[in-house]
A and B are shown apart, each in its own frame.
Chain A
Amino acid sequence: MKNILIKPSKEKLNSFVSFGSFFISIAFIDVLANTFLNLNFTSFLPGKLSYFAPLIIGTIGLYFIRIEFSGNKMLDRINTNFNSNNLNAVLSLIVIFALIKYIPPVLNWFFFDANFVGNSKEECTGSGACWIFVKVWFNRFVYGMYPDAEQWRINSAFFILFALVGASFFVSGKYKTYLIIFLLFVYPIIGLKLISGGDFGLKYVETGAWGGLSLTFIVSAFALILCFPIGMFLALGRRSNLPAIKYSSIGFIELWRGVPLITVLFMSAVMFPMFLPDGTYVDKLIRVLIAITLFEAAYMAEVIRGGLQALPKGQYEAAKSLGMGYWRMHFLIILPQALKLVIPGIANTFLALVKDTPLIFVVGLLELAGMVNLAKTNPKWLGMAMEGYVFAGLVFWIICYAMSRYSQNLEKKLSTER
């Protein structure tokens, strides 16, 4: 076998490289012509062979240019990164050809053949996406069924929130603490009042009308704030020496972690009202918030427990030797360090929480994904499922990707500090 194949060598570098490049360029020209000009140069070959011809020709070409330590920097870089052996050569070619073949149609659908101008489905004449659908429904996707005239309230609530969060990065020392306390304990109530209304001359908007992306943020923010203290106490409870507390914490945590969120939401919708005195009505959104909070608290507890376990025993002993009691030891010495350790874990839990919010559709609350589901069944806008889901997916992707990047950076920063 080895004798049959010509082994590319350094001595005849130029001829091998030009020979190889010739094959590679034939392969590329074939694929490009096939994609953009719809020509098939290799149609004289039998079916499957014609399909794989560029791959085979390209691999032969890459075989010829695979010369170690050729002295040519460019060539060496190509060989180490894309062409270190036959398998890698084939894989590289498959990836490149797949990109050439599938990126243009996707771009065409997404951008070049898409329709942006207009107000109705009839104006979507191109073969690409109909972004008019998203444009027309944009308000609904962001605010749900919230009345148009009142949407400034949601805007201002979020604007104040972002301004406060932004400010907390710049102010320092004592004011930062106050600001964070205000953000965590006072602002949620103000924000909720601003959005729900009912007082101060603001029109009351029932929670059934809330929806869209703003509901995603509201649900995830409240669930995060609420599940944090519960998770902390559950984590402490699970590590407690007192058997009754320890086992009830374990039972609680494992119960929620063992069941899917959707059944918990079902429970909040149909089973929870049965457990309350007859005639009491708890708002749907509040029931959902309770359900998600308890569910996420169990996960949060496990994350925080990880931090508690990672702390060296010496920290506990040092705190005890100073005469600190259980609560003082935990709040002044243990938790501040443990929480710092698990900030990435907390960020991941929050990420999972954001990705879980679309599930609230099972109780009839429609955030972004639910709104898309509703919009695509509108008789005037049938057949727009692809556009809707791509838009919703893109929005969620940007949010989640930014958050995961942030948590990765945090992880790196924290790991170098130690």
Chain B
Amino acid sequence: MNFKNFKFDLNNKNKDLIPQVLTILFLVLVVIYFTINAQNNMGNRGISFGFGFLSQESSFDITFSLIDYDGSDSYARAFLVGLLNTILVSSIGIFFATLLGVTIGIGRLSQNYLIAKAAEWYVEIFRNIPLILQIFFWYFAALRALPLTIDSINFYDISFLNVKGWYVPRFIWTNFSVFFYSIILAIISIIFFSRYAKKQRDEFGKQLPTLYISLGLIIGLPLLTFIIGGVGLSFEIPVLEQLSKTIYVYKGGVSIIPELISLALALSMYTATFIAENVRAGILGVGKGQKEAAASIGLTKGQILKLVVMPQALRIIIPPTTNQYLNLTKNSSLAAAIAYPDIVLVFAGTALMQTGRAIEIISITMLTYLSLSLSISIFMNWYNKKIAIKEK
């Protein structure tokens, strides 16, 4: 036994242990301190910690809801309405931000001087104005300048835009499930087909027109269900109705409230600038030699883009773009500023005011955002891993 050596080891262990114990002790003390205070405070106000209030009647109305909801439903249902609204505006925002961002990112690299400059100025302008101001601008200034209901802007007599919102036809389906399953079937067959096509390419060097066949499948199969599956689709077009001498209102159809329009508009225009920069960096990040090498082995321009440039560019583009999707989802909470009934407004706003349960409600709201963020980042990590070039 070497006693000296043993002591040295112990010292080293202590050196590692002490700061860790101190950290944990500090955290535990903070939590205990906060808990005791919170208990005292809630005791003084005569409320006790618990989530029982979620099943109580909410007795407030929500202006925009994807599911059936009225004041007699529970707080839990109000929470669900808010959550769905958040998810709705985030998905719309992500879709348009990607579309716009990719277009502008490619535009910035255009050899056309005007397009490149226009794209650059778009990015510079919309990136450097706070998002909340853009939301205010669209909601309070731009959309308020729209005409009144009676002089709505008319899109081919099926859709109407006015200061109260945007009225679009409602889809009325018969046998929707058949249609839905046909889309799933189409997606599955596309996956199988592209696997088969890849095999053909890898083994025999044959190029199959994957894109056209995939497009044909995803359009053709659902169309087929209209003919043989008994699927029907009709539209309920919004109609102008006169309620009194000066009050007009659109009945029927789906009304998209101005809050949703301005929020989605501002979110996607703002986030698009960041996505555009990512796309640009990604395409610039693919070495010139790669394109030249691909051209020298006789690939066509389209093939170079699809098989050489994009797979490498996507590797650079996707991680920061994931972050932007996360940011967009979190930024959708600014909805509270213009009274779009998202989770923050419905739950951390109205519900909190009514129940006074600050700790429970704020924790639920924060946890919801945390899990939304985590689920997007897990999905994107999975996708990122999938497209990452596997080095042999």
Contact = CB atoms under 8 A, between A and B. Distances in A.
Q: Which label, helix, strand, loop or mixed, suits the secondary structure of the A interface?
A: helix
Nearest to A267: B362
13 contacts: A82-B113, A92-B114, A242-B20, A259-B330, A259-B370, A263-B369, A266-B362, A267-B362, A275-B37, A355-B131, A359-B334, A385-B144, A389-B136
Contacts of A362: 336-337
Interface string B115-151: 1001000001101111111101100111011000000
Nearest to A404: B128
A258 B332 CA distance: 13
B365 interface: yes
B115 A91 contact: yes
A123 interface: no
Contacts of A194: none
Nearest to A96: B114
A248 B112 contact: no
A401 interface: yes
B225 to A, nearest CB: 34
Q: Which label, helix, strand, loop or mixed, suits the secondary structure of the B interface?
A: helix
B352 interface: yes
Contacts of A374: none
B128 A397 contact: yes
Given A91-B112, A266-B344, A389-B136, A260 B331 contact: yes
Interface in B352-390: 352, 358-359, 362, 365-366, 369-370, 373-374
Contact of A244 (B24, B42, B131, B142): B24
Given A244-B20, A271-B362, A259 B369 contact: yes
B114 A258 contact: no
A357 B142 CA distance: 23
B290 interface: no
B348 interface: yes
A347 B106 CA distance: 26
A361 B34 CA distance: 26
Contacts of B19: 242, 245
Given A274-B358, A274-B359, A385-B140, A401 B333 contact: no
A88 B113 CA distance: 10
A274 B141 CA distance: 38
Contacts, number: 156
Contact of A262 (B40, B124, B333, B374): B333
Contacts of A393: 129, 133-134, 137
B129 A80 contact: no
Nearest to B353: A270
A394 B137 CA distance: 12
B40 to A, nearest CB: 6
Contact of A248 (B27, B332, B337): B27
A258 to B, nearest CB: 4
B112 A271 contact: no
A92 B366 CA distance: 47
A376 interface: yes
Contacts of A88: 110-112, 115
B133 A84 contact: no
A92 B131 contact: no
A262 B37 contact: no
Contacts of A404: 127-128
B23 A245 contact: yes
Contacts of B137: 386, 389-390, 393
Contacts of B365: 263, 266
Contact of B128 (A80, A92, A243, A396): A396
B295 interface: no
Interface string A224-256: 000000000000000001111100100000010
B242 interface: no
Contact of A400 (B44, B110, B128, B369): B128
A377 B132 CA distance: 17
B41 interface: yes
Contact of B358 (A255, A259, A270, A373): A270
B157 interface: no
Contacts of A275: 33-34, 37-38
B139 to A, nearest CB: 9
Contacts of B391: none
B141 A385 contact: yes
A273 B27 CA distance: 19
Q: Which 10 A-B pairs have the closest CB atoms?
A: A244-B20, A400-B128, A260-B330, A260-B333, A258-B370, A386-B141, A275-B34, A355-B130, A81-B113, A270-B358
Contacts of A354: 130
A245 B133 contact: no
A389 B348 contact: no
Interface string A257-284: 1111111001100110111111000000
